[in-house]
Amino acid sequence: MSEPKSLFDKVWDAHVVKSIEDGPDVLFIDRHFIHEVTSPVAFLSMEQRGLKVLHPNRTFATADHNTPTINQHLPVADALSANQLLALETNTGKYGISHWGLGHYKNGIVHVVGPENGITLPGMTIVCGDSHTSTHGAFGAIAFGIGTSEVEMVLTSQCIMQQKAKKMRIVINGKVSEGVLPKDVILYVIAKISASGATGYFVEYAGEVFESMSMEGRMTVCNMSIEMGARGGMIAPDQKTFDYIQGKELAPKGADFDKLVEYWKTLKTDEGAQFDIEYVYDAADIEPMITYGTNPGMGIAISKPIPRPDDVLDGKASYAKSLDYMGFNVGESMIGKKVDYVFLGSCTNGRIEDFRQFASVVKGRKKADNVIAWLVPGSHVVEDQIKAEGIYDILINAGFELRQPGCSACLAMNDDKVPAGKYAVSTSNRNFEGRQGPGARTMLASPLVAAAAAVTGEVTDPRTFLN
């Protein structure tokens, strides 16, 4: 009997081409996603060395970070953004890499389009020059963000060199209460562990809460693994995973699919496998969450007051600076705080389920006059689903508009910037200073909390809207 292994061990060990003594492992990469911002320098440097792309069929490109979310049929006005988009088109064309650029019907946020087209599969190693690559861990893949030097490594050798991370397991048992979404679950976990508490670890999420979650919910959770410092997070694949993948355009079909499913069924942590650290939480303790500070670990149950610095795990030295930036005070309630902007979208919450949740609250209500709302689907596929399911009509009737796919206000590289000093309730993943625009003040929350804020114009407990 071999030693019991974790899910992470199984996938990692299956990809080690070579282990270097007192050094990293050479890890083979099955899927490589690229986008316009972190790839141009990698191509340039590769060419300066006289190297070529080794496996162009293992790399997939989409434009998302700096693309506009209105009038996508027009030329991109910002010259620098246009230049990056052109570089992506040129580089992918030159080396025969799949490219879903602006205007392509498959275009969208990299971490939304990968799974929805069947590119992401269990047991794979997946990397991208984007820290939210951890999203793909929802399928039982090892997926994580890399820097541009590593993008160049993958282009030229299909490998990267990394030391195997330590292992953390986060178990949440029980059932979450009504109004609590996967976003609340992960914000709760990050608040418990802190924004740096999982640095050096790869996380496995286990327990009833994750088992009963949809694939979209699992993606939301794994997406934010990086926000507690983890290299990535993953969830063991199950029938729900296989059903999601089956029939997706680029997924294996027929006997190939069946054979892979047999393998994928072995991708779970063995009884007795060891973790370096384990946290166990109870689903009943999780309420709708919201952040009050400038890192994702600064989150609280929406009904609770802003904590005292002594009660926070991490960042005591910068706590006052953080609250000062937000214009908040210790002990205040978040409920009733004025909201100027609402952003629904991003690789965290830009999927169909998120729009269904948002629509469930705004249906039959009206957008608050003081709120500017940006509703940005994660892809054209999501956009089409929104229209097909009648969600579009609900949004329009409630006074909202639907924008076109892209990363948008999550990182404000395009024109979707929250002005200085303004407050945004955002379903994205980072509340860093200036993340959504210079001086912008971000409160991270679920699509339900975002919807409640959008119709009331202030931070509101979404449970007041539940029937």
Partner 1 sequence: MAYDKFTVLKSSAVPLPIENVDTDQIIPARFLKATERKGFGDNLFRDWRYNNDDSPKEDFVLNNDKYSGKILVAGKNFGSGSSREHAAWAIYDYGFRCVVSSFFADIFRNNCLNIGILPVQVSAGFLNSIFEAIEANPETELEIDLSAQKITLLVTGESEGFAINGYKKNNMLNGYDDIDFLQSLKEEIGVYAESSPY
Residues 41-100 that bind partner 1 (CB under 8 A): 41, 44-45, 48-49, 51, 54-55, 65-66, 78, 80-81, 83-84, 87
- The C-alpha atoms of residue 164 and residue 416 are separated, in whole angstroms, by 38
The nearer residue to partner 1, 132 or 380, going by C-beta atoms, is 132
Query: Given the complex with partner 1, which of 158 and 385 has the nearer CB atom?
Result: 158
- Among 99, 231, 403, 441, the residue binding partner 1 under the rule CB under 8 A is 231
Q: Of 429, 434, 433, which Cα lies nearest the Cα of 444?
A: 429
Q: Give the C-alpha separation, 268 to 424, whole Å.
A: 39
User: What are the tokens at 232?
Assistant: 């990535």
Give the nearest distance from C-beta 55 to partner 1 in angstroms.
Answer: 7
Q: Which of residues 199-228 bind partner 1 (CB under 8 A)?
A: 199-200, 226-227
| Neighbour count for residue 246 (Cβ, 10 Å) | 14
Binding to partner 1 in span 255-274, by CB under 8 A: 260, 263
Nearest to partner 1 of 410, 448 (CB atom): 410
Question: Using CA atoms, how far apart are residues 60 and 98, in angstroms rounded to an integer?
Answer: 5
Q: Tell me how far, at minimum, the Cβ of 209 lies from partner 1, in Å.
A: 26
Q: Is 174 in the site for partner 1 (CB under 8 A)?
A: no
Task: Find the binder of partner 1 among 4, 13, 24, 253 (CB under 8 A).
Answer: 24
Stretch that binds partner 1, among 95-103, 154-162, 281-289, 373-381 (CB under 8 A): 154-162
| Choice from 75, 317, 364, 369 touching partner 1 (CB under 8 A) | 317
* List of residues 6+ apart from 328 with CB closer than 8 A: 292, 293, 306, 337
Secondary structure of residue 307 in the 3-state scheme: coil
DSSP letter, residue 284: G
Ranges within 381-410 binding partner 1 (CB under 8 A): none
Cβ closer to partner 1: 89 or 211?
Answer: 89
Q: Minimum distance between the CB of residue 212 and partner 1, rounded to whole angstroms?
A: 28
What residues numbered 333-362 form the site for partner 1, per CB under 8 A? Answer: none
Per CB under 8 A, the list member of 71, 149, 266, 329 interacting with partner 1 is 149
Out of 5, 28, 368, 389, point to the residue binding partner 1 (CB under 8 A). Answer: 28
In sequence order, what are the residues at sequence separation of 6 or more whose Cβ sits closer than 8 angstroms to the Cβ of residue 394? 359, 362, 363
Residue closer to partner 1 (CB basis): 275 or 355: 275
**Tokens (6 digits) for 229:** 């410092």
Indicate the residue among 189 and 391 with the shorter CB distance to partner 1.
189
The CA-based diameter of the chain, rounded to the nearest angstrom, is 66
Total binding residues toward partner 1, as defined by CB under 8 A: 84
Rounded Cα gap, residues 18 and 169, in angstroms: 26
Q: Residue 336: left if φ>0, alpha if ψ -120 to 50, beta else—which one?
A: left
For residues 95 and 60, is the Cβ–Cβ distance under 8 A? Answer: no
Answer for which of 98, 318, 389, 458 binds partner 1 (CB under 8 A) is 318
Q: Candidates 52, 103, 163, 393: give the one binding partner 1 (CB under 8 A).
A: 163
Which listed residue (412, 443, 448, 454) binds partner 1 by CB under 8 A? 412
Q: Which H or E run contains 346?
A: helix 346-349
What are the angstrom distances between the C-alpha of 93 and each of 86, 87, 90?
A: 10, 10, 5
Give least dist CB 203 to partner 1, A.
12
Binding test (CB under 8 A) with partner 1, winner from 8, 11, 40, 349: 40
Positive or negative: CA dihedral 135, 138, 144, 148: negative
* Residue 349 token pair: 């919450």
Q: Which of residues 275-304 bind partner 1 (CB under 8 A)?
A: 294-295
Q: In whole angstroms, how close is the CB of 395 to partner 1 at the nearest point?
A: 27
Question: Which DSSP string do the residues of 405-445 spell out, in sequence order?
Answer: SSSGGGTT-SS--PPTT-EEEESSS---TTTTSTT-EEEEB
Q: How many Cα atoms occupy the beta-carbon half-sphere of 398 within 13 Å? A: 28
Q: Specify the residue, 67 or 385, whose C-beta has the smaller distance to partner 1.
A: 67
Site string for partner 1, 107-136 (x = CB under 8 A): --------------x-xx----xxx-x---
**What is the 3-state secondary structure of 167-204?**
EEEEEEECCCCCCCCHHHHHHHHHHHHCCCCCCCEEEE
- Among 89, 95, 98, 157, which residue sits at the site for partner 1 (rule: CB under 8 A)? 157
Applying CB under 8 A, among 2, 3, 22, 239 the residue interacting with partner 1 is: 22
- Looking at beta carbons only, is 130 or 353 nearer to partner 1? 130
State which of residues 34, 61, 395, 411 lies at the interface with partner 1 (CB under 8 A). 411
Which residue's CB is nearer to partner 1, number 198 or number 352?
198
